[in-house]
Structure formats: structure tokens, C-alpha cells
């Protein structure tokens, strides 16, 4: 992605968030915009702990309460989407990103994003009765090579 393009996405998101906060009479605090900026600087998904740490590292420490509250606002105005790869842990990522798969390892719980042009064509060209597909994010569970290797080693020991 070109850097100019990236600035654009951030600007558009910022404007959308500003409009939303104004319309809903919410305060436009620098903390809320710092959260948005961090999210839109990186296309990968994240959980609240990762976001909390990134904000601290960037010199923008926000409280957990502010973080949760801001994430809820961003969900409400559809600037981010929420995923549940694991039952008790939510992951977020910015909305409107590229079509992709989430490869979820059931061993170490790592999540890798994966893009495939062939699969994308297949899904978008698929004729589904009374439905026209426009976007997708697929979650595929399995084992990463590291966990598969570990499993094989453990099985040998038995």
C-alpha cells in the first residue's frame, strides 16, 4: 500500500468518527482519537491488551475504561469489527479491509491473516440463492506448522 493511500484511510476514518461523536453528543477527547489512530495505522487485528500496550508505548496511555468505551463507539459507527476466535477473547480489526482468511491455530491460538485471489474470485462469483456476496472474512481453524511439529514430537514420545 502506498503511504498516501494510508493517510487517506486514516483521514476518512477520523472524519467519520468526528461526525459520529458530534451527532451523538459525545466528547471529542484526544484519547479517543489516539485509539482510532493506532487502529488505523495497522491493518492487523488486535485484542484490548495489545492495543493498551501499543498506546502506552506510543506515549498515549489511556485507562482501560476509556479504551473499552472508545472501542464500543468505534463498533457502533462501524469503523471496526469484532471477532471471536476464542470463546472468551475478542479480537478487533478495522472495518472495510481486504478480503482475507483468518488461520486460527487451535494449539497456540495464533491468528494469521491470509489472502488468496483464487478463493476471492470463487466466493464472490459463487451463485447463492437470494443472496449476493459483497465481502467476507473467513475463519479457518487448524494447526500452525510449529504446533503440528510439536504434536508429532509428543506423539513419538508416547
Q: How far apart are CA 137 and CA 14, in angstroms?
A: 24
Count other C-beta atoms under 10 Å from residue 60's C-beta: 15
Decide whether 95 or 147 has the Cβ nearer to Zn ion. 147
Nearest to 67 by CA among 36, 40, 21: 36
In the bound complex, what is the minimum distance in angstroms from residue 92's beta carbon to Zn ion?
A: 9
In the bound complex, what is the minimum distance in angstroms from residue 49's beta carbon to Zn ion?
A: 17
In the bound complex, what is the minimum distance in angstroms from residue 59's beta carbon to Zn ion?
A: 27
Decide whether 28 or 84 has the Cβ nearer to Zn ion. 84
**8 Å CB contact between 91 and 104:** no
In the bound complex, what is the minimum distance in angstroms from residue 22's beta carbon to Zn ion?
A: 29
Decide whether 28 or 135 has the Cβ nearer to Zn ion. 135
- By the 10 Å C-beta count (0-12 exposed, 13-18 middle, 19+ buried), 50 is classed as middle
List residues binding Zn ion (CB under 5 A): 45, 93, 105, 107-108, 113, 144, 147
Amino acid at each position: 500500500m502506498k503511504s498516501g493511500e494510508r493517510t487517506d484511510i486514516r483521514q476518512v476514518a477520523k472524519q467519520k468518527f468526528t461526525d459520529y461523536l458530534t451527532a451523538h453528543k459525545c466528547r471529542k477527547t484526544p484519547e479517543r482519537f489516539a485509539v482510532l489512530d493506532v487502529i488505523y495505522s495497522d491493518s492487523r487485528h488486535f485484542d484490548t491488551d495489545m492495543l493498551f500496550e501499543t498506546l502506552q508505548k506510543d506515549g498515549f496511555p489511556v485507562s482501560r475504561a476509556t479504551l473499552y468505551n472508545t472501542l464500543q463507539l468505534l463498533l457502533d459507527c462501524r469503523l471496526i469489527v469484532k471477532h471471536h476466535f476464542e470463546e472468551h477473547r475478542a479480537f478487533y480489526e478495522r472495518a472495510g479491509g481486504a478480503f482475507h482468511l483468518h488461520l486460527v491455530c487451535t494449539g497456540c491460538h495464533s491468528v494469521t491473516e491470509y489472502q488468496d485471489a483464487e478463493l476471492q474470485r470463487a466466493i464472490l462469483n459463487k451463485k447463492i440463492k437470494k443472496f449476493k456476496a459483497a465481502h467476507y472474512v473467513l475463519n479457518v481453524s487448524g494447526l500452525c506448522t510449529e504446533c503440528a511439529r510439536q504434536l508429532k514430537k509428543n506423539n513419538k514420545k508416547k
